[in-house]
Amino acid sequence: MKRTKIKELLNAEAALDPVLVKGWVRTKRDAKSFSFIELNDGSCLANLQIVAAGELANYDEIRHLTTGAALSVQGRMIASQGAGQKWELQAQNLVLIGSSPDTYPLQKKRHTDEFLRTIAHIRPRTNKYGSAFRIRALLAHAVHQFFNDRGFFYIHTPILTASDCEGAGEMFRVTTLSPQIDNIEEDFFGVEANLTVSGQLEAEMMALALGDVYTFGPTFRAENSNTRRHAAEFWMVEPEMAFCDLKEDMAVAEDLVRHLVRTVMDQCPDDLNLFARFVDKQLMPRLEKLVGTCFERLPYTEAVKILETAAQDFEYPISYGADLQAEHERFLTETYFNGPVIVYDYPETLKPFYMRLNDDARTVAAMDVLVPGIGEIIGGSQREERHDILASRMDRMALSREKYWWYLESRRYGSVPHSGFGMGFERMVMLLTGIVNIRDVIPFPRTPKHIDF
RNA sequence: UCCCCAGUAGCUCAGUCGGCAGAGCAGGUGGCUGUUAACCACCGUGUCCGUGGUUCGAGUCCGCGCUGGGGAGCCA
């Protein structure tokens, strides 16, 4: 007999007989001569209530079932006689698949996130983390759906690379040499190789052939960042669009955010509700605001003016030419506008070489999407498509023309205006769940000094 | 990398002024005619993070170290 997932059973319109379910015991309550077992199989947040009567042949074994044990239960699903759930399963045959000794670390009570991080192999079995990872999966699917619906092609860019996309951020070195050998020519690639910090440069090449493309893959930063918003390994979504200017780029970014929020609200109401109730009381109002209002847009120059005249003391002073600090971004999106904001046209000196120089020759066509609670969730730009301007900008930033010869060459043959952006996938999961630590939205997070599991 | 905070039972925590190491949950046993983080009774549990010091006496005060967390920087 084929097993039925609990999600399907709980959504059933009518009683079913017989059914087979398999899952893990979340909790058990005993009456005098029978027991209630809450069984969860991960298909949804809710448990299925199993009623195990004292007449069952192995009832003595059932009586000793512990939290975490794996079961196979066959029986009939009927309308529940108790309040609190629509359906329950009256067990006719209950088999213990895997027992769970009393050292099982999860209990039917709240644990701290810090403790659960030390048992990352077990924590997906909790309500909160189960919901977070189901939402994460749906979100990944929604990313593909969004781009596929708009005629974008999903492309794969290299994980191993010899190029440093932005000249910013420490990279993880990849080598097959033993530590004593320092002759790079003997290394696997014969040159210094690293894990990618962005697929953008390669994605541009693909956009200049396929039109609209996107990448969605892992990214690696060796920065010694110890914050709740940074991980050494994270996932990034990077669309790249030919014949697209900054304005259209911003429109796609806004549409993407809105699509992702709406999809999760529509398709994960139960999981989302857990976060709205127990993690962040302001979650639903914030999400509704994200789908319901247009993102505020303002040039960097105006953002600086607002910050300069703000009735608020900042730790870091702000003036034209200074980068926006976390406190400045937070003020704009959380206090001044109280909603999503896109800041664009940043001073040329603040941004990487590939961003397109504006006509004022002082700013580049860059944009950052800022959201309450997270800060920067998307960063993008129109790319410099004019060969000579790009080349001279690379010279000024001391980047080797030889090393990026292929990137420059794309500007020689049929170069066109094109734009793109990068969206931190984990930050989107944080935005959607109210989870404040990136280590809690990645099943097995990697941060400095942490690579267990 | 810098600044700040914390570390007590398997877990979550309390521990007053420096004076006998505590509770709830989890686990065990028994009870309960349908429970909802079930409930009731009883039972066990400690390198008080480590180390050095002050003191008649340190979980408590001081130094150093380790681990965890928060903030900043960097960024997504």
Tell me the residue range of the domain where A22 lies: 6-98
Residue A333: which of A360, A377, A362, A371 has the closest Cα?
Answer: A371
Report chain A's mean pLDDT, rounded to a whole number.
91
Asked whether residue A337 falls in the same domain as residue A402, the answer is: yes
| Of A242 and A402, the one with more pLDDT | A242
What mean pLDDT comes out for the span A324-334?
A: 90
Which residues of chain A between 371 and 400 are close to nucleic strand B, CB under 7 A?
375-379
Q: Is the CB of A424 under 7 A from strand B?
A: yes
Give the CATH number of the domain where residue A19 resides: 2.40.50.140
Phi, psi angle pair for A77, to nearest 5°: -95, 120
Asked whether residue A159 falls in the same domain as residue A274, the answer is: yes
| Of A62 and A413, the one with more pLDDT | A413
Distance CA A133, CA A279 (A): 15
Asked whether residue A266 falls in the same domain as residue A337, the answer is: yes
Residue A218 binned pLDDT confidence (cut-offs 50, 70, 90):
very high
Interface confidence (ipTM) of the complex: 0.86
Structure tokens at A185: 């020519």
With a cut of 90, say whether residue A93 has pLDDT above it. yes
Strand B: positions under 7 A of a protein C-beta atom: 1-2, 10-13, 24-29, 31-39, 67-76
Q: Which of A63, A98, A133 marks a domain boundary?
A: A98
Asked whether residue A317 falls in the same domain as residue A415, the answer is: yes
Asked whether residue A127 falls in the same domain as residue A11, the answer is: no
Rounded to whole angstroms, the distance from the CA of residue A34 to the C1' of nucleotide B32 is 11
Q: Is the CB of A112 under 7 A from strand B?
A: yes
Distance CA A182, CA A294 (A): 54
Asked whether residue A313 falls in the same domain as residue A416, the answer is: yes
Asked whether residue A151 falls in the same domain as residue A220, the answer is: yes
Query: Is residue A107 situated within a structural domain?
Result: no
Phi, psi angle pair for A98, to nearest 5°: -145, 125
Asked whether residue A173 falls in the same domain as residue A93, the answer is: no
- The reported pLDDT for the residue numbered A101 is 82
Nearest nucleotide relative to A109: CA against C1': B37
With a cut of 70, say whether residue A167 has pLDDT above it. no
Q: Would you say A132 and A429 are in contact if contact means Cβ atoms under 8 Å apart?
A: yes
Rounded to whole angstroms, the distance from the CA of residue A109 to the C1' of nucleotide B17 is 36
DSSP letter for each residue of A328-360:
HHHIIIIIISSS-EEEEEEEGGGS-TTBPBPTT
- The reported pLDDT for the residue numbered A59 is 87
Distance CA A242, CA A211 (A): 5
- The reported pLDDT for the residue numbered A182 is 74
Query: Is residue A449 situated within a structural domain?
Result: no
Query: Is residue A104 situated within a structural domain?
Result: no
With a cut of 90, say whether residue A105 has pLDDT above it. no
Indicate the number of domains in chain A. 2
- The reported pLDDT for the residue numbered A165 is 56
Q: What is the pLDDT of residues A359-400, one digit of tens each?
A: 999 999 999 999 988 889 999 999 999 999 999 999 988 888
What mean pLDDT comes out for the span A150-155?
A: 97
Which region among A238-252, A276-290, A305-319 has the lowest average model confidence (pLDDT)?
A305-319
Which residues of chain A between 62 and 81 are close to nucleic strand B, CB under 7 A?
64, 66-67, 80-81
**Percent with pLDDT over 90 in chain A:** 62
Query: Torsion-angle region of residue A422: left (phi > 0), alpha (psi -120 to 50) or beta?
Result: beta
Helix (H, G, I), strand (E, B) or coil at A23: strand
Asked whether residue A289 falls in the same domain as residue A358, the answer is: yes
Asked whether residue A298 falls in the same domain as residue A432, the answer is: yes
Token pair 């947040």: residue: A45
Asked whether residue A53 falls in the same domain as residue A150, the answer is: no
Q: Which of A30, A63, A98 marks a domain boundary?
A: A98
Residue A26: which of A119, A118, A130 has the closest Cα?
Answer: A130
Its pTM surpasses 0.90: yes
Say whether the peptide bond before residue A417 is cis (omega within 30 degrees of 0): no
Helix (H, G, I), strand (E, B) or coil at A6: helix
Give the CATH number of the domain where residue A388 resides: 3.30.930.10
**Percent with pLDDT over 70 in chain A:** 99
Distance CA A256, CA A431 (A): 14
Query: Is residue A170 situated within a structural domain?
Result: yes
Asked whether residue A84 falls in the same domain as residue A157, the answer is: no
CA distances for A195 relative to A162, A238, A297, angstroms: 8, 17, 34
The crossing angle, in degrees rounded to 10, of helices A269-278 and A246-267 is 90
Q: Would you say A23 and A4 are in contact if contact means Cβ atoms under 8 Å apart?
A: no
Q: What is the pLDDT of residues A337-353, one digit of tens each?
A: 989 999 999 999 889 99
DSSP letter for each residue of A116-161:
HHTTTTTGGGSHHHHHHHHHHHHHHHHHHHHHHHTTPEE----SEE
Which residues 6+ apart lie within 8 Å of A299 measured at CB? Answer: A343, A344, A345, A363
- The reported pLDDT for the residue numbered A168 is 52
